[in-house]
């Protein structure tokens, strides 16, 4: 009977926040044992949980200095890096890693368990070949990142997002595994034939205004342009089913494209 009671509470806990789980565990002496068995998934700074006897049960933590130990169940780390040379150990259980680097500090020991990697805000270091592990499928560069990436992004990446300030040539930069490619506001370089035929969702930022004739791969189904795009839209691949344009767009859209593509105005 006790096992059934615990099973029911565990099922209920899947729908609860960490705070609600703790509140639930305080409802009786029997349920109090559950706080040592629950898994806690909400992001929390590690300094707030170091003293807890169920420290190892936390999955999503934030750290801002080198730490002696991390929870055994940790899967997501939000990491502040303030200085180069300071070692930050990331356990092999981590799948989601977000790095907030100050003074262009870096983390050079990203484990092969990481699938989602985000460089936040201030990171603007060159990316060296082999720096990003081949386990990463979702890669996001932050606000200030503006470095060339020739052959530095591994062929495991399927979702690639560049931040606000990125404005570099993408020749030999986009691996043939990428399906979702997003550029930030400042990007405005010729794309020529640099975008691989694996890409299905292609999004440009507000300042992009390069000619696109014969530049959009035949794999693309969804195409988005920003506020300053003002090139004629014709000879779009037949794979494209939807184009999103700014309400400021005033150039021509061929009748052929209008007849077969859904046009959205943003």
pTM for the model stands at 0.86
Most confident listed range (5-14, 23-32, 225-234):
225-234
Contact in structure between 166 and 186 (CB atoms under 8 Å): yes
Sign of CA dihedral 133, 139, 144, 149: positive
pLDDT score, position 1: 45
Which sequence spans correspond to the domains of the chain?
1-38, 39-163, 179-266
Average pLDDT over residues 163-183: 97
Cβ atoms < 10 Å from Cβ of 253: 16
Characterize the bridge pairing of strands 60-63 and 159-161.
unpaired
Secondary structure of 36-101 in HEC code, one letter for each residue = HCCCECCCEEHHHCCCCCCHHHECEEEECCCCCCCCCCCCEEEEEECCCCCCCCCCCCCCEEEEEE
pLDDT tens-digit readout, 79-130: 766 555 555 568 888 999 988 765 555 666 788 999 999 988 788 888 888 8
Residue 139: name the closest of 107, 166, 117 by CA: 117
Number of H-type helices and E-type strands within the chain: 4, 12
pLDDT tens-digit readout, 182-231: 999 999 999 999 999 999 999 999 999 999 999 999 999 999 999 999 99
């Amino acid at each position: 009977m006790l096992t059934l009671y615990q099973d029911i509470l565990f099922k209920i806990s899947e729908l609860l926040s960490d705070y609600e789980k703790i509140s639930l565990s305080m409802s009786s002496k029997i349920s109090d044992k559950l706080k040592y068995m629950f898994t806690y998934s909400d992001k929390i700074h590690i300094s707030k949980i170091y003293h807890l006897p169920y420290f190892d049960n936390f999955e999503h933590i934030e750290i801002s200095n080198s730490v002696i130990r991390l929870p055994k169940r940790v899967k997501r780390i939000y990491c502040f890096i303030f200085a180069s040379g300071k070692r930050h150990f990331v356990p092999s259980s981590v799948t989601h890693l977000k790095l907030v680097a100050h003074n262009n500090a870096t983390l050079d020991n990203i484990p092969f368990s990481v699938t989602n990697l985000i460089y936040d805000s201030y990171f603007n270091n060159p990316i060296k070949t082999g720096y990003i592990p081949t386990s990463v499928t979702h890669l996001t560069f932050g606000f200030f990142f503006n470095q060339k990436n020739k052959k530095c992004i591994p062929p495991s990446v399927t979702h690639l997002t560049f931040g606000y300030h990125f404005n570099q040539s993408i020749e030999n930069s986009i691996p043939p595994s990428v399906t979702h490619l997003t550029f930030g506001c400042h990007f405005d370089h010729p794309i020529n034939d640099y975008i691989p035929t694996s890409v299905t969702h292609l999004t440009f930022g507000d300042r992009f205004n390069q000619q696109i004739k014969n530049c959009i791969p035949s794999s693309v189904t969804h195409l988005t342009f920003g506020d300053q795009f003002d090139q004629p839209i014709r000879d779009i691949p037949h794979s494209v089913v939807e184009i999103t344009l700014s309400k400021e767009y005033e150039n021509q859209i061929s009748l052929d494209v209008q007849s077969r593509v859904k046009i959205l105005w943003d």
